[in-house]
Structure 1
Amino acid sequence: MTTTFITGANKSLGYETARRLIEAGHDVLLGARDPERGRAAADALGARFVRIDVTSDASVAAAAADVAAREGGIDVLINNAGVLGTHDPADRITAADAGEVFEVNVVGIVRVTHAFLPLLRTSAHPVIVNVSSGMGSFGATHDAGRVESRVVAPLYTASKAAVTMLTTQYAKAWPDVKVNAADPGYTATDFNGHSGPQTVTEGTDAIVALATIGADGPTGTFQDRHGTMPW
């Protein structure tokens, strides 16, 4: 059975990803910062809850140790945890605001990936999926025909651009691991007050597809539910 660890999985895209992968036969480890919400989500899905705060070295190390002791390793790591950050206009954004967003969206991925890479390498076909965004795509945000071009969110967009580049660099560094980035698209979630036109299931299409690739699957790519995303 494929063992999959998902961060930020107690709601929205993470929760739906967990549900769909369990349905596909994966043994899902549901990572979340809040124990009460995390356990409730895991119990509802039939997953195992693992407490993890991606901003804490100690928490991430403890989560990796927990998985090492219980499962021995994982096959798929989905770095889903993320924050939108401040809604303040660009001229009011501070360094502290930037630190908050990048600590979760970028440094959190580095922290979790570093801790879980030894567990991934116990798998015959290790896979990492980093949840990025079309908001971090230079091509999408400069295309007047796309919704991404009409949004100004400097910190979130910059952090997701960093996630995509981090993905391509990890893919080059680790030929033995399939590392890809997924763009959920404009999906109705808490992030946007449920204003997105896509359902949460549609929003997880790319994540699930990349989490279930075989040994001959792609690496170093950026994909949404329709195919390859522009960089």
Structure 2
Amino acid sequence: MKRTPPLTALVTGANRGIGFEVGRQLGRHGLDVILTGRDAGSVASAVRELRNDGLQVIGEELDVASEASVVACAARLEQQGQRVDVLVNNAGVYPAGDLLTSPARTITEAMAVNFFGALWTARAWMPEMNRRGYGRVVNVTSGYGSFAEGLGGPAAYAISKAALNALTVRLSQEARGDVKVNAVCPGWVRTRMGGSGAPRTVEEGADTVVWLATLPADGPSGGLFRNRRPIPW
């Protein structure tokens, strides 16, 4: 009997925090994992740590804010015969300030990473998912990007995450076959971004991300989730 190869997941912003924990948990679920990040050294350290745990992991340098970097990464993986079955768009920035007084670069960086980063990666890997008829795309967003929750928090962050939410809905409409696209609010998590006072552990923050990344064929698509439950946009 021909053995089916394991699925492969690519996680952005995976050298630390939620992304790293998502990589660990997906590896423990039996997936091959591609950890990516802007800093090649920290990505390499993260890969070594997960390999020491016996997981099948490789690393790639990737700046999601740069379409050229995404295209180059996709080309390298294709040359290596690597496919991407699961895409977790976790990379993000959390700039402070409001819309009327923040420097323009603050707003453009938030959009470049939090919104365009997920768009560029989806354009790089989702078409092949559609052709194969299988894929999972998970966009890590925030309740601050929810209209129902008031678009709170720093302005550029909230607006960029609201755009990411809209992207999630539209990508789900362009999905074909058993390709599912969802967004997740992991909550306030103790990471470098979340700070030491956050109430949730990285394991708790990663849980719903991993759940969405490993959904069965009858699972949801086009939704926003927190604690494995749908919440309003």
What's the TM-score, normalizing by structure 2?
0.90
CA drift at 1:175? 3.2
Q: Does 1:138 align with 2:138?
A: no
Shifted more, 49-58 versus 75-84: the winner is 49-58
SS at match of 1:192: coil
Q: Does 1:174 align with 2:175?
A: yes
Q: Does 1:77 align with 2:87?
A: yes
d(CA) in 1 for partners of 2:66, 2:228: 35
Q: Does 1:97 align with 2:106?
A: yes
Equivalence for 2:153: 152
* Contact 1:4–1:78 (8 Å) recurs in 2: yes
CA-based RMSD: 1.6
What's the TM-score, normalizing by structure 1?
0.90
**Per-residue CA distance 1:155-208 (angstroms, 9 max, x = gap):** 101111111111011101223321000110111111132221011100111100
Match of 2:202 among 183, 200, 215: 200
Equivalence for 1:56: 66
d(CA) in 2 for partners of 1:119, 1:51: 21
Question: For residues 29-68 of structure 1, what are the structure 2 equivalents within 5 Å?
Answer: 29-46=34-51, 47-68=57-78
* Contact 1:74–1:122 (8 Å) recurs in 2: no
Match of 1:107 among 101, 112, 116: 116
Aligned residues: 222
SS at match of 1:78: strand
Identity %: 37
Gaps of at least 5 residues in structure 1 are 143-150
SS at match of 2:77: helix
d(CA) in 1 for partners of 2:19, 2:126: 20
Cα 1:100/1:230, change in 2 over 3 Å: same
Matched AA of 2:30: G
Cα 1:122/1:39, change in 2 over 3 Å: farther
CA drift at 1:210? 0.1
CA drift at 1:90? 5.0
SS at match of 1:113: helix
Equivalence for 1:145: none
Matched AA of 1:183: C
> Whose helix proportion is higher, 1 or 2?
1
d(CA) in 1 for partners of 2:77, 2:159: 32
Equivalence for 1:209: 211
Show structure 1 runs of 4+ deviating over 3 A: 88-91, 121-124
Gaps of at least 5 residues in structure 2 are 1-5, 52-56
